[in-house]
A and B are shown apart, each in its own frame.
Chain A
Amino acid sequence: MKVTFWGTRGSLASPSPETVRYGGNTSCISVEGGDGSVIVLDAGTGIRNLGQSLPPDIKRVNILLTHLHMDHIQGLPFFLPLRRRGVEIHIWGPASTTLTLNSRLQKYLSPPLFPVSVRELSADLHFHELPGHVIEIGDFSIQAQLIIHPNPTIGYRIQCAHASLTYLPDHEPALSGWTFPHDKEWISGYALAEGSDMLIHDTQYTEAEYQTRVGFGHSSIRHAFQFAKLTDVKQFIPFHHDPTHSDDDLDRMFKDMIEEAAPLYEVTPSREGLVLEVGC
């Protein structure tokens, strides 16, 4: 599968001369299968560029939302295929106990927050609520499970014949308590990530920052490396960079942690424009 990173920033889009290398757009990744299936992971501001790169005659796009925090949905109305008649857009996301996924998204996609409402979009829209079942899209089989992050948040494991990718962009497994990082049965996200060829995981904070943000739903870089080791992944992709971290800050964080952890798995920090092949 071909994995392209369109937005790697967390919390808030952060374009500036200090963030050009890792990028300023928020969470969005495309995953393309050998059969032409396209899966979009989250709809942060990075999805605008993805929309412009897709062929105009594309018939179907599948958007998997981890949760509905603004940095994961803000780009949605700027996704070009949504404005094209005849394109089938399937949107998966976490269920709420009181509102449908469509109704929850309409809170943002309606005045006064946004001038265009969901019903005014030209594409043929389908909403699906998770978790509950395995999703089959083309060659892909996708598992969805709740993970630790404020408000219901879903992690995804995408599997094809020869590769697996786990996507946990906003995740605080250390909040599992003293069981982290030892007792696998009691650690959020473990079952999804176990043995993945590629793990894309939250590394938002330095250790010092994490101490004052416990419970915010994000990981320190050390916790993320520990999670990657525990789950025995082959390649680890640090993701969801804090908006206050410059390119130089991120370079330093990753260099220091790789020296400290001496990981046996490959580490490839995510940056906007990065394209990777998984498996096959």
Chain B
Amino acid sequence: MAQQEIEVILSRHLAEYLAMPIFIVNPDGDLIFYNEPAEAILGTRYSETGSMPASEWATKFQPTDHEGKPLPPEDLPLVIAITQRQPAHKIFWIRGLDDALREIEITALPLIGQADRFLGGIAIFWERSQK
């Protein structure tokens, strides 16, 4: 059975102890973990959804800009972090699976391990407002 890289296991361990919402994706962009504070914003539980392919999570939460226009996946900070391997930051809106519309602010970073191994990305986000 495939095992996650040690830096990813430790990132998840850290995320489980932090009170900030955190997303972790693998090098393909698949969502492999989100913590309990993130569950509150996404309106769903990790234990229910499990991991999600990039094509699914990037649209599932219906990200939109301030004018309500859909954001393409390539404009999402976490997608930028793993495709361009650089930090990215953005404020936008998502609709959680609980149907609430939330304004969120996200900072995403690529995860680069020992021996320059590219391991995916991690995003920390804040809820700014809710409708």
A and B are partners in one complex rather than unrelated chains: yes
- A: residues with CB less than 8 A from B are 94-95, 97, 129-132, 145-148, 152, 175-178, 184-188, 190-191, 194
Q: List 15 A-B contacts (CB under 8 A).
A: A94-B114, A97-B114, A129-B115, A130-B115, A131-B114, A146-B5, A146-B7, A152-B114, A176-B13, A185-B1, A185-B2, A187-B3, A187-B9, A191-B2, A191-B3
The DSSP consensus for interface residues of chain A is: mixed
A95/B2 contact (C-beta < 8 A), A146-B7, A175-B13 known: no
| CB-defined contacts of A130 to chain B, threshold 8 Å | 115
Residue in B4, B7, B10, B16 whose beta carbon sits within 8 Å of that of A185 in the complex: B4
Find residues 80-94 in chain B having any chain A CB closer than 8 Å to their own CB: none
Residue in A95, A132, A145, A184 whose beta carbon sits within 8 Å of that of B6 in the complex: A145
C-alpha spacing A45/B3, complex, angstroms? 33
| CB-defined contacts of B113 to chain A, threshold 8 Å | 146
Decide if B9 touches A186 in the complex (CB within 8 Å): yes
Most chain-A CB neighbours within 10 Å: which of B6, B16, B113, B117?
B6
Q: Which residue of A lies closest to B17 (CB)?
A: A177
Residue in B6, B16, B115, B117 whose beta carbon sits within 8 Å of that of A177 in the complex: B16
Decide if A132 touches B12 in the complex (CB within 8 Å): no
Q: Which residue of A lies closest to B7 (CB)?
A: A146
User: 1/0 contact trace for B1-31 toward A, CB 8 Å?
Assistant: 1111111011011001000000000000000
C-alpha spacing A88/B111, complex, angstroms? 37
C-alpha spacing A100/B9, complex, angstroms? 26
- B: residues with CB less than 8 A from A are 1-7, 9-10, 12-13, 16, 113-115, 117
| CB-defined contacts of B10 to chain A, threshold 8 Å | 148
C-alpha spacing A131/B12, complex, angstroms? 21
| CB-defined contacts of A145 to chain B, threshold 8 Å | 6
Q: Which residue of A lies closest to B15 (CB)?
A: A177
C-alpha spacing A199/B115, complex, angstroms? 26
| CB-defined contacts of A185 to chain B, threshold 8 Å | 1-4
C-alpha spacing A142/B7, complex, angstroms? 21
Residue in B7, B12, B115 whose beta carbon sits within 8 Å of that of A186 in the complex: B12
- Given A186-B3, A188-B3, A191-B3, 14 other A-B residues pairs in contact with their CB atoms under 8 A: A94-B114, A95-B115, A131-B117, A132-B115, A132-B117, A175-B13, A184-B1, A185-B2, A185-B4, A186-B4, A186-B12, A190-B3, A191-B2, A194-B1
Decide if B16 touches A178 in the complex (CB within 8 Å): yes
| CB-defined contacts of A132 to chain B, threshold 8 Å | 115, 117
Q: How far is the CB of A124 from chain B (nearest CB, A)?
A: 25
| CB-defined contacts of A191 to chain B, threshold 8 Å | 1-3
A188/B9 contact (C-beta < 8 A), A177-B16, A178-B16, A194-B1 known: yes
